[in-house]
Amino acid sequence: MKLQDLHFFYYYSHGKLLLTGEYLILYGAFGLALPTIKGQSFTIFYYKNKPTYPYFSTLSSEFLLWKSFNEKNKLWFEVVFQLPSLDICYETEKKTAFRLRNLLLKSREIQKNFLSNTFGIYVQTKLEFPRNWGLGSSSTLISNIAKWARVKPHLLLENNFPGSGYDIACGYYSKPIIFRRLKNESPHVIPIDFNPPFKEKLFFLYLNKKQNTCESIRFFQKKKKKI
């Protein structure tokens, strides 16, 4: 594939750390969140001519090839979608493929021209931190897709990911934020300067105890109902 046969766009989103307000942030509490230095990059290549690639020989129309790489630059997920239907032609992990498809369909529901009038697309994502660290492999993905589709990121949370959206907001900022979201309202995000005198004594250690966000939220909500 020659360079003149494609053009590309690049996006980047930061990871996240929530210092205050965990779980209560779901009910309108203020949360102090820090975007992390490391995040996830997102590059989209648009083909002008049909490339030579094994999967494409069976496709009769447009396609979307997606490859995701980890922090060691190793491929951990791959999927090929038929366009414009976004039917899955090939995938290496079914659950991840369907979650991604739902995000893309939701983006197009909001932005009608998204993924239209193009012959072929190749998307490459690259994480800068291990997926099991909990720094936001999903939130940085949603932030990047929202930037690509030009939609409000919190709208992609609906029916896809339960949560306040503070993590997605972190993807858009390079400095700490105060985040608040009330029911049926758009998020309120205030960038701030966080420079405490004890900053040199702050450390974050990975304990290898990452929890599933969706399951943890459901557990918290169930306990709240009993109070």
Exposed, middle or buried: residue 129 (CB in 10 Å: 0-12, 13-18, 19+)? buried
Residues forming beta bridges with residue 33, ordered by sequence position: 18, 177
For 48-72, how does the pLDDT look when each residue is reduced to its tens digit (9 = 90+)?
665 555 555 555 568 899 999 999 9
Residues 6+ apart with CB under 8 A from 172: 13, 143, 153, 189
pLDDT at 169 over 80: yes
Between CA 161 and CA 182 the distance in angstroms is 17
pLDDT grade for 4, boundaries at 50, 70 and 90: very low
Rounded to two decimals, what is the model's pTM? 0.85
pLDDT grade for 3, boundaries at 50, 70 and 90: very low
Q: Given this model, what pLDDT does residue 53 score?
A: 55
pLDDT at 94 over 60: yes
Task: Provide the residue ranges of all domains of the chain, joining segments of one domain with +.
Answer: 3-226
Report the CATH fold assignment for 3-226.
Ribosomal Protein S5; domain 2 (3.30.230)
Which has more confidence, 28 or 212? 28
Q: What is the residue whose two structure tokens read 């290898």? A: 208
Q: Given this model, what pLDDT does residue 100 score?
A: 96
| Average of per-residue pLDDT across 146-152 | 95
Percent of the chain clearing pLDDT 70 (strictly above): 81
Check the CA dihedral 107-109-114-120 and report its sign: positive
pLDDT grade for 199, boundaries at 50, 70 and 90: confident
Q: CA-CA distances (angstroms) from residue 174 to 8, 13, 14, 34, 38? A: 24, 9, 7, 8, 10
Q: How many other β-carbons are positioned within 10 Å of the β-carbon of residue 99?
A: 14
The mean pLDDT of the chain is 85
Q: E strands along 21-160, which residues?
A: 31-47, 63-69, 75-82, 87-91, 120-127
Residues forming beta bridges with residue 8, ordered by sequence position: 45
The bridge status of strand 87-91 relative to strand 6-20 is unpaired
Q: Given this model, what pLDDT does residue 60 score?
A: 53
pLDDT at 1 over 50: no
From the list 35, 64, 47, the residue with the least C-alpha distance to 3 is 47
Q: Given this model, what pLDDT does residue 24 score?
A: 85
Q: Given this model, what pLDDT does residue 127 score?
A: 97
Q: SS3 helix, strand, coil % of the chain, rounded to 5? A: 30, 30, 40
